[in-house]
Structures are given as C-alpha cells and as structure tokens.
Amino acid sequence: MKKKIVLKRLYHRGKWRLVFVFASGYDEDLVSVIKTIKGHNYSKTNRCWYADDDEATLKQIIRAFRDKADIDISFLTHNPDSNVPELPDKAESKPAKGPDAGSASPTPESEEIDREMIPAQRNDEQVINRPQYGPVEFRINEKDGRLAIRFTGLYDKGWIEEMKTFGRLYYDKPRKEFTLPWSLMTTDSLSDYFSSQGVEVKVIKSVAPEPLRSARRELGDKIRGRQLGDKAREGLEQMRKHLDGVRYSGRTNVSYLALLELFFKYYHKKDPLKITSTEVSQFVHEFIVTNGYSASYQNQMISAIKTFYKISGKGHFDPQVFERPRKSKALPKVFSKDEVKRILNSTKNNKHKLLLWMIYSCGLRRGEITNILLTDLDRGRGIVHIREGKGRVDRIVPVSVKVWEKIDEYIDGFGPRKFLFEGQTGGRYSAESVYRVFKQALGRAGIKKDVGVHSLRHSYATHLHESGLDIRYIQELLGHKSTRTTEIYTHVSRRNLVAVRSPIEDMDLK
C-alpha cells in the first residue's frame, strides 16, 4: 500500500507554513524526501517538518513525492484562517420538533446545533502551535440509537456543517461531544469523511456491563493459562498448514487459530479428536452464550471448529449436524430507477459522474471500482475485466455504449496514467473518496435513505431481474459463487409483485 502524507497549514514564526503529517507514523524515507524541498525546516516546538506555503513549493512537493507517497491536499483548499476555530458569543438551545428529530433527543444540558459550533478549545489557547487535528472519537450506542462524536484536538468549522447533513446535531456541554442519530451509513460516511481529511478516527462501541466483562476476563484468563497437550499442538499445526494451503487471508488465519486454541484449552485434558458433539455444544453454551458474546463471534468460533474437524477426520464430532446461531436476514436496500437516475445525474464533475455510472451499470463493489486499470478496459469486446474481486475471483462485465462515451470523455479530460480512477497526485483512488462522492450525490438527489455505495450494486441486480434476466446470468455478472446469494434479489424485485391483485379490490367498500 502506498504511503500517505497530509499537508496542513500552520501559522509559525509570523508566516503560514505547509506542515507534513505522516498518515502512518514517522517515516525516515519520507523525511529524506522532505529534506530535498526548498525551504524545509523542523519545528521542535510543534514537532513537525514544514516548508513555505507558496505555489512553487507545493508544486515541488507534489513532484518530489509522485512515486513515493500520496499527497492529500484537501486541507489546503480552505482559507487558512478557518483552521483556527472561533468561539460563539452564546450557544442557543432549541428543542427537537416533530418526528424528524430522530432518536437523539437532547438532554436538558444539550443543544441543537444550527449555527457556528462550540469549538474544542478556546481562542485564548495557543491553538496555532498544534499542527495536527483530531483524532476524532466515535462512540456508538446501537441500543439507544445514538452516535456521539468528540474532537480531542483542533477541528475545522466545515466539519460541523458536514455533520449537520446527517440529521439533527446536538452539542452536549457536560460531555463536550456532539450527538447524532446512529446508523451504519452515518458512521461509515463520517468515518470516511474524516479519514479523507487526514484525521484519525477512533470508533468505540458500547461495552458490556462491568460484571459481565469481569466474568469474561476471569474465565478467559483461566482457560488461556492452561497448557496444550501434544495432540492439540499437532491439531493447530495441521490447521495452520490447511489455512495457508487454501490461501485464506492473514487476518482469517490468525483469528481461526486463536479461536481453535481457546477451544482446545477449554478441554485441555482431552485429545481433540475425542471431543464429542455434546461437548462442543456445552462449550458454546458455557463460554459463549452464558458470557454474552455476539452471534458473529459464535459463528466464527463454530467455523474454526468445523474447519478443523473437516480436515482431521471428524473424530467423535460431526460438523454437518452442528447448527449456527440465527442471524437477522435483512433484504438489500435498493433504489428505484428514478432514484438511480437522479443520483447519476446529480454531479457535473465528469470523474465523479463516471465513477457512479460504472458502479451501477457494471454492478461493482466499492473496492472493485478503484482497482480498475486502464489495461482492464477492452473496447473491442465492450467489456471491463474485474480482477480479484471478493474471494479473489476474476470476472468480465459488459460496458454499455453510453458508458464508453463517458469513459472517453473522462480520459481525455483527466488523463489517468495507470488506474482508471486516480487521486489528485496519482495512485489509486481511495475507497473513502468513493463513499464521499456517493454520499454527496445522495444529498444532491434529495434521497435520505440509510444506504451505502453497495446499494447501487443491489439496485443493478434488482433492475436486471425486473427486466426479465435469468438469475444465473445475474450471478455471473455479480461474481457470486452460488445462485443462493443472488436469489435474495428475487425478494426485492417487483417483476412478479406488480401482477398481484390485492383482495381489497374485489370488495364493495365505501
């Protein structure tokens, strides 16, 4: 992954300076490049490298880092003075009105924000000596439907305006944090937004009660302190070789091995191959269910256990008869064709327009659209080659004539070098930027659905089904391994529903 530097402004020694912020931590290789920049210097007070804030220096920075790192200059598009927050004379309190107030109703000491926001620190503090923003803390309470946002450092006033676009925004004085109605889209979108601004986001989910957490720790420490027998160690090594052989991701390998080791230590005195189905059920109930672990954790534990017994000859445990916890099966959220039209026509920027057009017209995932190389476009065959989609599966997708015209127009105007969509300083376009473009398009189109970029892909599949395309072709276009995955779109398609006549039509009602 390419390194990243965020450029920010800092008022230092009587002038505005360009500050280099390392997105992934201090990097000697990047510092060596900074030392080639004219007028570079290091501030011991602010603990940062900086250079003069002028157009010539900025151009030199972009050239110097072209092949070394991505340069995020989004902060430099604002007026430098806006980086220093202002303190309003008085914060006005307004009660929530009507049902649109959402679930984030203000507390007696909280205020709805409808003007300049209360800053993280006052003007009498030396804010200009703190070059870095954030990090921003998100605290999620799904049960109460609230998202609390706290700025732990400096912030830009424009961030408040961005937050207001997601619903009624309140400021809680005692806690010094903002609150919004919680949703997955709001959390993901704002997280992507702050990340695109070069600000670290720390997401904190609501935690279990302390007595339950204490019980988890006590039991977990007791189990992890046990010694594994020779047979269990052999089983873990067998599992490790299998995971490496089937090319699971590194994260999956680590997770499966850790879960399996915990399971083996629970029955540390037994040969793993002699553990019975009843004992597996007992472990799930006593360790997972009783201690309030989530269904997703339970599912992952079961997956690790079942994988081991499948490759080891099962022993006394039959993986086929072991059930997983039930999960909610929400239908995909889709747009009508009119809504899609409004979204795709909502921006005049050719790059953003083509981005949205291709996601919908080709049924692409967010990561797939950013991976497209110029060499993946095959105009002669009218296709685009999608490489290593989900599950590392390649596929080809047809591209319509209308989209080809937009591709030609975009390439002539923007001149990408390697990837079809690239950042301002070259390199792959970020997934966060895709989300940002999509969210802005939703706002311009006047659509307030709680959805993500993936809904364009859902809509593509649903509209294909409504037009009469066989489910097996839709499966190939989406890159699904099984038609069972694709069949979910038959539940949201209107192809057969429009022919259903309600019984009320046959009743003589007045």
**One pLDDT digit (tens) per residue for the chain, 510 residues:** 678 888 887 777 767 788 898 887 788 889 999 999 988 999 887 788 999 888 788 888 888 888 888 888 766 644 333 333 332 333 333 333 333 333 333 333 344 443 333 333 323 223 233 345 668 888 876 556 678 898 887 777 778 888 887 778 888 877 788 988 877 667 766 776 776 666 777 777 666 667 777 888 888 888 888 988 899 999 999 998 998 888 766 667 788 898 999 999 999 988 988 888 888 888 888 888 888 776 667 888 888 898 898 888 766 666 665 666 555 455 667 888 899 999 999 988 889 999 999 999 988 888 888 889 999 999 888 889 988 655 567 888 888 899 999 999 999 888 898 999 987 667 788 877 888 889 889 989 998 877 788 889 888 888 887 778 777 777 778 877 666 666 666 665 555 554 545 564 565 666
Task: Identify the active-site residue in 457, 458, 463, 465.
Answer: 457
Task: Identify the active-site residue in 130, 454, 494, 495.
Answer: 454
Ranges in the chain annotated CATH 1.10.443.10:
337-491
Structure tokens at 324: 């997983």
* 460 and 363 Cβ atoms separated by less than 8 Å: yes
Backbone angles phi, psi at 242, to 5 degrees: -65, -45
- Quick one: 249 exposed, middle or buried, by C-beta within 10 A (0-12, 13-18, 19+)? exposed
Is-catalytic flag, 78?
A: no
Pick the CATH number of 337-491 from 1.25.40.420, 3.40.50.300, 1.20.120.1200, 1.10.443.10: 1.10.443.10
CA distances to 249, 347, 396, 438, 490 from 362, in Å: 26, 19, 10, 16, 19
Is-catalytic flag, 385?
A: no
Per DSSP, 47 falls in state T
Is-catalytic flag, 454?
A: yes
H/E run at residue 373: none
Is the pTM of the predicted complex or chain greater than 0.75?
Answer: no
Is-catalytic flag, 390?
A: yes
- Report domain 210-321's class: mainly alpha
Task: Identify the active-site residue in 222, 241, 390, 481.
Answer: 390
Task: Identify the active-site residue in 4, 365, 436, 458.
Answer: 365
- Report domain 102-205's class: alpha beta
Read off the amino acid at residue 298: Q
Is-catalytic flag, 489?
A: yes
Ranges in the chain annotated CATH 1.10.150:
210-321
